[in-house]
Amino acid sequence: MIMNNKELLRNQAKSDICRGLLIMIGMLAGSKAGHDKGMVYVIIKEEAEYVYLADGSSKTLCKPKKKNKKHIQIIKKHSEPELAVRIQEGRIDDIEIRRIIRQYETSIITGENRR
């Protein structure tokens, strides 16, 4: 059976989740330091010590913010595997990034995230 790139990425993401590895792509993160302290972003790329963040407005997918992993706080650990795949394949746009962040901020205001 031959898998296409989409299936390979999806299976890799599921495999990493099962092994307990922290996959940051697609997660929401808050800035803990710098002039953007308190801002919410979506992680679109990950390197050894840095992540690349987008908010869909000032920091777009074409020009993301490079930030040290020490200076972010993961907000939403349960990233949708489909979102990570879409980011890696380039099938997401700034409008959707803004929608994801706005949806999260609305859930905080309305108290949907409380236990």
CATH 2.30.30, applies to 5-110? yes
pLDDT of 56-113, one tens digit each?
A: 999 999 999 999 999 999 997 656 678 888 998 999 999 999 999 998 889 888 876 5
Distant-in-sequence, close-in-space partners of 98: CB < 8 Å, separation ≥ 6 = 55, 56, 57
- Domain boundaries of the chain, sorted by first residue: 5-110
Question: pTM, whole model, 2 decimals?
Answer: 0.75
51/11 Cα distance (integer angstroms)? 22
